[in-house]
Structure 1
Amino acid sequence: MSSTTTPRLGAHRTPAARLGVQVVHDLVSAIVTGEVAPGDLLPTETELCENFGVSRTVIRESMKRLEEKGMVSVVQGRGTQIAPQSEWNILDKVVLGTMIENDETLGILDELAVVRGQLESSIAAAAASARSGDELRVIHDHLDTMHTTAEQRDAFAAADVAFHFAVMDIAGDRLASGIARSLSKRAGESSRYYGAPGADAVRLTLEEHQRVYDAIEAGDSDAAAREMRDHIALAWERRRIRD
Structure 2
Amino acid sequence: MLPASDPRSGAPRRGQIDRIGSRVLEELVELIVTGSIADGEYLPPEQALCDEFGVSRTVIRECIKRIQEKGLVEVAQGRGTRVRHFNDWNVLDPLVFDSLVRHDESLGVLDEVSVVRAALEGVMASEVAATGSAESHEQIRVHLHDMRRLQHDNPAFLRADMQFHLSMMSASKNRIAATIARSFFVRPLQSARWDGNNPADAIPRTLAEHERVFEAIEAGNAVAARVAMEEHILGSWRRRRLPDGVHHLSP
Between the aligned residues of both structures, percent identity stands at 45
After superposition, what is the alpha-carbon deviation per residue over 1:128-155, rounded to whole angstroms, capped at 9, x for unaligned?
A: 1222222122111111222232233322
> Alpha-carbon deviation of 1:16?
9.6
Aligned residues: 229
* SS at 2:74 equivalent: strand
- Report the equivalent of 1:172: 173
Corresponding position: 1:99 with 2:100:
yes
Q: Is the 8 A contact 1:128 1:216 kept in 2?
A: yes
Unaligned 5+ residue runs, structure 2? 1-15, 245-251
Q: Is the 8 A contact 1:18 1:53 kept in 2?
A: no
Q: Is the 8 A contact 1:28 1:98 kept in 2?
A: yes
- Report the equivalent of 1:11: none
After superposition, what is the alpha-carbon deviation per residue over 1:164-210, rounded to whole angstroms, capped at 9, x for unaligned?
A: 11011111001111111111122212121110010011110000001
* SS at 1:105 equivalent: coil
Corresponding position: 1:38 with 2:39:
yes
> Alpha-carbon deviation of 1:80?
0.8
Corresponding position: 1:89 with 2:74:
no
Corresponding position: 1:109 with 2:110:
yes
More deviation, 157-166/144-153: 144-153
CA distance in 1, matches of 2:50, 2:227: 53
After superposition, what is the alpha-carbon deviation per residue over 1:93-125, rounded to whole angstroms, capped at 9, x for unaligned?
A: 111111111111101111111111111111000
More deviation, 180-189/201-210: 180-189
1:1-243 pair list within 5 angstroms = 19-243=20-244
Letter in 2 for 1:63: I
* SS at 1:20 equivalent: helix
Unaligned 5+ residue runs, structure 1? 1-14
More deviation, 117-126/70-79: 70-79
When normalised by structure 2's length, the TM-score is 0.87
Letter in 2 for 1:181: R
Letter in 2 for 1:22: R
More deviation, 61-70/154-163: 154-163
After superposition, what is the alpha-carbon deviation per residue over 1:43-89, rounded to whole angstroms, capped at 9, x for unaligned?
A: 12112122222222211111111001110111222211111111111
When normalised by structure 1's length, the TM-score is 0.90
More deviation, 104-113/151-160: 151-160
CA distance in 2, matches of 1:184, 1:29: 22
Detail structure 1 runs of 4+ shifted over 3 Å in the superposition.
15-18
Letter in 2 for 1:169: S
> Alpha-carbon deviation of 1:18?
6.2
